[in-house]
């Protein structure tokens, strides 16, 4: 049995609420501010919101998710029995979030964490034109596209994969830089970068070709520039059943048909 105090959070769906009621009958739970780990019931989106809420409170706890959503890539199987034993034997995966530092056309400076990816997206019918810098050096003077994103290994199987970006193993210490519907340079399909890299995008002709920046589910509109880097001050810990470890699932995803 685990001797760590557990907190329970659930998405507002009927399935997750019913599962939470079942677990409250079986185990002892504590408020999240007095807990040592969190059990989250829902889908991948709810797990991301749970992690973001802890980053906002500056109190980050290990999270064991159980899938009561749709895809559940970041979740374990929903089973109410033997939860304490599962937690005792769970594998830990450390995820380093991104930090998005954006400057808007009005000069406002906004800093937001992202666990999966930061994406820049055109706001109008006009394609976006972006200057791309890596560690202060211009690597693409003009990228003409619908958008571009920077993804962590944990997020490389999400939006990044649908944009035909590479899948990154969790222990690779890499970031994926992936264009979204690139027009120029026509043959550029992105890059794989060390996670110590700082990537900066400057919006060209922002008055006509406005661009928004999205850190996971948080959008900032009308940006002039966006800088993305790893935030090593707030590591996140996900807990997985040994047979459903995230690194194994990421490896298997590369052979999905």
36 labelled binding-site residue: no
116 labelled binding-site residue: yes
76 labelled binding-site residue: no
123 labelled binding-site residue: no
Q: The tokens of 91 are what?
A: 């594998």
45 labelled binding-site residue: yes
The strand pair at 37-42 and 6-10 is best described as parallel
Q: The tokens of 180 are what?
A: 């979204």
21 labelled binding-site residue: no
159 labelled binding-site residue: yes
35 labelled binding-site residue: no
Quick one: which of 21, 85, 92 has its CA closest to 63?
A: 92
Residue 229's alpha-carbon distances to 25, 37, 127, 150, in angstroms, are 43, 27, 25, 9
Q: Considering 33, 44, 171, 231, which one is annotated as catalytic?
A: 44
Q: The tokens of 239 are what?
A: 């807990």
Residue 190's alpha-carbon distances to 31, 52, 99, 128, 171, in angstroms, are 44, 27, 20, 16, 20
Query: Burial level of 240, CB count in 10 A (0-12/13-18/19+)?
Result: buried
Compute the distance between CA of residue 34 and CA of residue 31 in angstroms, rounded to an integer.
Answer: 6
27 labelled binding-site residue: no
51 labelled binding-site residue: no
| 248 given a catalytic annotation | no
Count, residues in the chain = 257
Binding residues for NAD(+) are 44-45, 49, 116-117, 146, 154, 157-162
Binding residues are 44-45, 49, 116-117, 146, 154, 157-162
Give the catalytic positions in this structure: 44
């Amino acid at each position: 049995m685990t001797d760590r105090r557990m907190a329970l959070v659930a998405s507002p769906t009927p399935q997750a609420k019913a599962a939470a009621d079942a677990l409250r009958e079986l185990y002892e739970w504590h408020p999240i501010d007095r807990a040592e780990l969190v059990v989250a019931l829902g889908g991948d989106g709810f797990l991301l919101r749970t992690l973001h809420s802890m980053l906002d409170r500056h109190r980050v706890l290990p999270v064991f998710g159980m899938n009561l959503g749709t895809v559940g890539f970041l979740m374990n199987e929903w089973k109410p029995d033997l939860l304490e034993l599962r937690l005792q034997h769970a594998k830990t995966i450390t995820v380093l979030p991104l930090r998005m530092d954006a400057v808007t056309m009005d000069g406002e400076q906004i800093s937001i964490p992202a666990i999966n990816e930061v994406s820049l997206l055109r706001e109008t019918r006009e394609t976006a034109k972006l200057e791309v810098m890596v560690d202060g050096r211009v690597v693409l003077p003009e990228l003409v596209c619908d958008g571009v994103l920077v993804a962590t290994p944990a997020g490389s199987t999400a939006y990044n994969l649908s944009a035909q970006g590479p899948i990154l193993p969790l222990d690779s210490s890499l970031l994926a830089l992936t264009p979204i519907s690139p027009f120029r340079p026509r043959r550029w399909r992105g890059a794989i970068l060390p996670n110590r890299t700082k990537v900066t995008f400057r919006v060209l002709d922002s008055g006509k070709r406005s661009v928004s920046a999205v850190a996971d589910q948080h959008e900032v509109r009308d940006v002039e520039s966006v800088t993305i880097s790893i935030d090593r001050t707030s590591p996140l810990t996900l807990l997985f059943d040994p047979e459903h470890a995230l690194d194994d699932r990421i490896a298997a995803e590369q052979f999905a048909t």
